[in-house]
Amino acid sequence: MATENISCKISFEGLNNTRDLGGMRTKQGQHILPGKLIRSGQLHSATEKDISVLSVDLALVVDFRTEQERVEKPDPYMAGVINLHLPVFESLAAGVTREEKSDAEAFAMVSSDPQKACQYMLETYIGFVTNDFSVSQYSKFVRLLLEPRDKAVLWHCTAGKDRAGFASVIVQELLGVGRDDIFADYLKTNEYLKTEVGRLLEIFGQNMGAPDEKTTKSLDYLFGAHEEYLAGIYEKVEELYGGFDSFLTDGLKICPDEIERFRRMYLAD
């Protein structure tokens, strides 16, 4: 029985959704080098032991959060590791960014209906490839990865599923990972964030009363990873660019020679 072709969860004391893309196989039969490309949720809850490990393994941390998120839950200092702020959104987005105000707006939203929450998140995801600012930031992210480094690059948002999740999709597409494996890796986030979603339900109960079935479903749409969100991105990319390969070259402005260099940097036979 074949094993799942997904990123490998790294065991940390305070971090639930930190994963190494190393080992993932491409359609061409190569695999991603381990210890080079790491996706994660927020680093604020890292313990001293976690920080010690990360300080040894990392060269660069790319933080996709808003400035307010960084103020409320700053990344820990790690000696010798560059921390770069590269926000994907220019302002807060309920259900995606996690400032206190954004969380309050997300909780207010779920008092309406689950389909509204689902549609809102779908439109937010589509914005990753239609909003000029977001596209330019993801382009900068790829160019950061094209800079040679001896140690790993870690990128993160808050949960590690939306902004950082799409960054992971871009990396996997650049390296030639199969579409089914990309979806499977994206959806695996739900397993690692069960505790976090449970905490959000608890906070909702404290603020607004015990959530009913409709509210619970809305919260799941807001804070979970759903296949239709990623499918929506691919549909929009197909509509605008004719396919993801063209989005890489025409949207992110990554030329074919750079894609080949990217693969030489991060793939092995």
Q: What is the pLDDT of residue 204?
A: 63
For CA atoms 122, 124, 126, 128, the dihedral sign is negative
Domains of the chain in start order, with CATH, are 8-268 (3.90.190.10)
Query: What confidence tens digit (pLDDT) does each residue in 141-173 have?
Result: 999 999 999 999 999 999 899 999 999 999 999
Residue-wise burial string across 99-114, b where 16 or more C-beta atoms lie within 10 A, e elsewhere: beebbeebbebbeeeb
Query: What confidence tens digit (pLDDT) does each residue in 15-27 have?
Result: 999 999 999 999 9
Helix orientation angle between 163-175 and 227-241, rounded to the nearest 10 degrees:
60
Mean pLDDT of 47-57: 97
Mean pLDDT of 114-142: 93
Q: What is the pLDDT of residue 255?
A: 97
